[in-house]
Structure 1
Amino acid sequence: MTKDLGRPRNLSIDGAVLSATVDLLNERGYAELSVDAIARAAGTSKPAIYRRWPSKAHLVHAAVFPIGAATTLPDTGSLATDVRDMLRRTVRFLSTPAARAALPGLVGEMASDPTLHSALLERFGDVLTSGLSGLLAAAAERGEVRPDVTAGDLAEVVAGMALMGVLARGGELDATWIDRNTTLILKGIGTGKGSGT
């Protein structure tokens, strides 16, 4: 039996750092954000931050895109309704002031560091592998989706459409945009039998 000899992690530091990161992103933007400034605002140290997150990009991702109720997948028994809700919630997730401030920098960092994209996707691993895979399996049984469509495929399509929409169009994407792009997704992954909008 192994024994953990380290000190228990102080969760109040985590909360203070994440909150300070969001506040400073809103004030300064991603490019002007530094781990030094975050540590000062959170009342902690840079080493304490780097023990928790390996880089500024990882920290910003955790602060701006928390895993919680907003990432719980819908399961209404209708693929069309589920995909529409996923797209709507993803757009809302990406449209917060902190997300808008962070996205250009995060996209740039992922382009220059291919390992970062994989590491960030790992944060949502449970959502993708258990929740979304189960939703797709049920939809395949109902004849709504092709059996070769994976959770990763659907997650990338939903996130990609939402990201490009938010970055390219600036303001909030309305219900018409959500409906049109839901239809496009469903036509791409559906069997044509039971996946109508």
Structure 2
Amino acid sequence: MTAEDASARSGIRKTAGRPRDDSIDTAVLDAARELLAETGYAGVTVAAVAHRAGTTKTAIYRRWESKPHLVHDATFGRFTTLVPQSGRISEDVAQMVEEVCAVFGSPVTRAALPGLIADMAADPAVHQRVLAGFAGVFGGVAERLTDARERGELRVDVDPTIFVEMLGGAAILRTLMHREDGLDEAWGAQMLAALSAIVVDEPPAQ
């Protein structure tokens, strides 16, 4: 590692210079996704991503502390539409299930998830940072469900946090156990039926 790389990884930032080039972020994330799909988690290195993206390791370490942080953003960074506001909780739950199936059923997520979980287990700092990356989405879902419960659309004994854990946990387990066809249409339909039966006072709209 060069002194420049070490400086970037240590968190040292220059106080002056050119503005951050967002096109590098896009190129790096795209390169990471491509490599994940092609080689799997183990085959992704910061050097390989830099080469594919046409940038440097230093530029990457200025933006991400480590490979797991980069892989997390490449895999789940676009996971932003999980909190629909249709006005009807049954429709919102259906959209949540659809979004989870799309994200966890993608080749990139299937490739990234086992290695990312292993790195989270091995490094508490990585674990905390990855979970923090989901905080906004999980918090938004919990807020939406809390609002629905207050309006009488949701059973009063439903814990929004447990609802999120049920959907997310089931998706993760299914992805790990059935990596090729885990979150297919049949799984999504059964998950929606199960969640709706547990939490929603009325069935999803047909």
Q: TM-score normalised by the shorter chain: which range applies?
A: 0.7 to 0.9
1:12 paired to 2:19: no
Give the SS at the match of 1:124: helix
Q: Does 1:38 align with 2:49?
A: yes
Structure 1's unaligned 5+ residue stretches are none
2:65 matched to 1:54? yes
CA contact (8 A) 1:30 1:101 kept: yes
CA distance in 2, matches of 1:59, 1:126: 18
Q: Is the 8 A contact 2:41 2:115 kept in 1?
A: yes
CA contact 1:87–1:162 (8 Å) conserved in 2:
no
Alpha-carbon distance in structure 2 between the residues aligned to 1:175 and 1:111: 31
CA distance in 2, matches of 1:115, 1:19: 25
Q: Percent identity?
A: 38
Structure 1 counterpart of 2:5: none
Question: Unaligned 5+ residue runs, structure 2?
Answer: 1-13
1:183 aligns with 2:186: no
Determine which of 3, 7, 28 is the counterpart of 2:39. Answer: 28
CA distance in 1, matches of 2:164, 2:146: 15
CA deviation after TM superposition for structure 1 residue 119, in Å: 1.2
Which residue is equivalent to 1:107? 117
Q: Do the aligned partners of 2:82 and 2:95 also contact (CA within 8 Å) in 1?
A: no
| Cα distance, 1:160–1:72 mapped onto 2, change above 3 Å | closer
**Contact 1:145 1:195 (8 Å CA) reproduced:** no
User: Partner of 2:77: helix, strand, or coil?
Assistant: coil
**Normalized against structure 2, the TM-score is what?**
0.78
Counterpart AA for 1:179: A
Q: CA deviation at 1:109?
A: 1.2
| 1:22–1:155 distance in 2 versus 1, CA, 3 Å | same
Query: How has the CA–CA distance of structure 1 residues 27 and 124 changed in structure 2, closer, same or farther, with 3 Å as cutoff?
Result: same
- Report deviation, 1:147: 6.0
The one-character-per-residue Cα deviations of 1:22-52 (angstroms, maximum 9, x if unpaired) are 1111221111211111111212221211111
Aligned equivalent of 2:3: none
Q: Which residue of 1 aligns with 2:146?
A: 137
**1:78-97 → structure 2 map (5 Å cutoff):** 78-97=88-107
Contact kept in structure 1, 2:24 and 2:55, CA below 8 Å: yes
Give the match for residue 128 of structure 1. Answer: 138
Aligned mates of 1:158, 1:114 — CA distance in 2? 24
Please tell me whether the aligned partners of residues 82 and 141 of structure 2 are also in contact (alpha carbons under 8 angstroms). no
How far apart are residue 77 of structure 1 and its match?
3.0
Q: Is the 8 A contact 2:90 2:203 kept in 1?
A: yes
Give deviations 1:116-169, integer Å, cap 9, x for gaps: 23312322333333x32331122112321336623x433322111112222223
Between the aligned partners of 1:115 and 1:183, the Cα distance in structure 2 is 37
